[in-house]
Amino acid sequence: MIRLTLPLLALGLASCASAQTSLESTPVAAEQSFRDRLPSEEIVYFVLPDRFENGDTSNDLGDFTGGKLETGFDPSHKGFFHGGDLKGLTQRLDYLENLGVTAIWFAPIFQNKPVQGPEGDESAGYHGYWVTDFTRPDGHFGTREEFKTFVDAAHARGMKVYMDIITNHTADVIRYAEGDETGYAYRSLGDYPYSTRGPVTGEAINPGFMGHEDRRDANFARLRNPDYAYSPVVPEAERDVKVPAWLNDPIYYHNRGDTTFTGESSRFGDFVGLDDLFTEHPRVLEGMVDIYADWIRSTGIDGFRIDTARHVNPEFWQTFVPAMLEAARESGIPNFHIFGEVYRDDHDNGYIAQYTRRDGFPAVLDFAFQQGIREVVSQNKGTYILNELFDGDVLYEGGEEAALAMPTFLGNHDMGRFTTMLRWDNPDISNGEMLARTKLAHAMLLTLRGSPVIYYGAEQGFVGDGNDQAAREDMFPSRTDSYNDNVLIGTDATTADSNFDESHPLFRLIAEFSQMRRAHPALLRGKQVIRHYGQEPGIFAVSRFDPDDGQEYLAVFNTSGEAQQANVTLGYDARSFEQLAGACPAGVTAPGSAAFSLPAFGWAVCRVAETAE
């Protein structure tokens, strides 16, 4: 017997350069409260507020007066504040809604030290990671009331808000008396124990302290002298700059010098000079729980991305994460999303998965996905890479189901844009091929398992010169020469223009795939099964299954620069397809096999419309 699966009521056909989509009239998530959506159901937009839109020029100098070294404001310099703010974000919510965004994650908004760095090489805290006051927004971005206005406005549209938070460090305020002569080199636990001033031959200090592994209050009460490795010095002008006030006491910092990002220094060293918090200390843990639980309770936000997660001891997270989830539950936020940043450029996800098992993170940023997509779409490696990637989903705490909530992405503010990597990997690539490969990468991002994250500007074809500051262009008209000479893709515009063009081919593609994704539960939270891969560039295919009725979908991609054909396996009961995007065959070739023919860098998303019983 043949069973016909009736297609859902369609809006019609929405088309872009190489996609044709058939969509439901009402996205499934729109029928329920935004609070009820699972993390895997979100389409996230990651943005640096300073670089998005300037809604209020009166706060461009923040709370400071003077020149750029006092205020941090210089829109001509890529390393200083440019003027974007919370009002600007609020004013552009229509744009984000039209893109299909359901959750907004923004870089930290807390009050920062405006300028840091050696003379002649200063830069500003526009990015938000040099916090002095954890209890309010930076004056360059606006007030706490304006932040609440933004959250409420986003929620009114059914959009969630994720804050980017830091517990590992504060701004660089503490100096070391011996620092200049040593270059702030890291001093180890073995060579500089807590029990002596300076080296092991030094004066005995902190009698009775049994080390940081004993995290009882009574033990840490015996740690009174922070001079065990270096002698910390706080400049008089900054003695009370940190809020809450307890953060101004050097006893709550490791004070061991700069991390080398290896060995024990990865957890105990200063991150590029930033003051490294003593997160093993119960007072630090208690203080951070209080700070961030208050943000949840007072603003109703929906999640945290946690910066530098791997540089903090696991025991901290084992208490902090449950405390945040409990504060959210008490505030009526049942699906509060917490994901940690564990930077690793490897498509093997075993390393990042350990942070979900040992440390207790519900999710981690999926750097393995990012690397896997780069390898197959940009570096011309075989599609077996993606099979290896997804095979590793069983390593996460909660296994393949937990992997559905991992935030997937193509590029970001630290590693750079996907388009930049395309140029690094393919120096002679044309703009046309860059656009085609970038479209394919976004089609994969928005169809495969995980919670997709769009890095701001990707939808406008931004192509940076590199990573870090070189990947943080302005969406509003830029005055930064090193941004304005970039050649964007899919447009004749430059970053000197306002770039909120909803007709841009990448904007249209992302919007259409976002709408398709939200219309079909299989693409939001359905089980994923690998169906086809190879040792060379070419066809990669997965099935996604509706979590309610088991209906099968096929997503097929061609990572090759040439047209490809393949017989793709699928359920033996499948007979015919409904086309959602790209070109789907009318039906199967034989039970268990369907023939796909895709153009270079093409794709097809198909729903099984007819099955045999």
Which tokens belong to 10? 């369609």
pLDDT at 32: 52
**Of 201, 209, 203, 208, residue with least CA distance to 227:** 203
Q: Which member of 280, 341, 459, 501 is catalytic?
A: 341
Q: Which residues contact 471 (CB under 8 A, 6 or more apart)?
A: 411, 412, 413, 414, 415, 416, 417, 420, 464
DSSP strands (E only) in 85-228:
103-106, 110-112, 115-116, 123-124, 131-137, 160-165, 169-170, 175-176
Active site residue 485: no
For residue range 49-77, list pLDDT tens digits in order.
Answer: 999 999 999 999 999 999 999 999 999 99
Are 345 and 365 a contacting pair, CB within 8 Å? no
DSSP 8-state secondary structure symbol assigned to residue 32: S
Using CA atoms, how far residue 17 sits from 433, 582, 584, in Å, is: 13, 10, 16
pLDDT at 4: 52
Range name among 18-32, 42-56, 350-364, 592-606 with the lowest pLDDT average: 18-32
Closest by Cα among 345, 339, 256 to 302: 339
Angle at 98 between CA 94 and CA 104, to 5 degrees: 70
Quick: pLDDT tens for 147-158.
999 999 999 999
pLDDT attached to residue 5: 47
Single pTM value for the model: 0.95
What DSSP state is assigned to residue 519? Answer: H
SS3 string of 444-478?
A: HHCCCCCEEEEECCHHHCCCCCCCHHHHCCCCCCC
Average pLDDT over residues 179-197: 97
What confidence score (pLDDT) does residue 613 get?
A: 78
Active site residue 307: yes
Cβ(359)–Cβ(317) below 8 Å: yes
Q: How far apart are CA 444 and CA 452, in angstroms?
A: 10
Phi, psi of 128 (to 5 degrees): 95, 5
C-alpha 323 chain-centroid distance: 22
pLDDT per residue as tens digits for the range 448-489 = 999 999 999 999 999 999 999 999 999 999 999 999 999 999
Q: Exactly one of 133, 276, 307, 375 is catalytic; which is it?
A: 307
Return d(Cα 38, Cα 344) in angstroms, integer.
26
In this structure, the strands spanning 123-124 and 115-116 are antiparallel
Q: What is the pLDDT of residues 501-530, one digit of tens each?
A: 999 999 999 999 999 999 999 999 999 999
Q: Kindly state the helix (H) or strand (E) to which residue 400 belongs, with its residue range.
A: helix 399-403
| 594 pLDDT more than 60 | yes
Residues 6+ apart with CB under 8 A from 279: 167, 168, 285, 288, 312, 313, 316
Q: Name the more confident of 233 and 31.
A: 233
pLDDT at 90: 98
Residue spans of beta strands (DSSP E) within 25-144: 44-47, 103-106, 110-112, 115-116, 123-124, 131-137
What residues pair up with 574 in beta bridges, in sequence order? 611
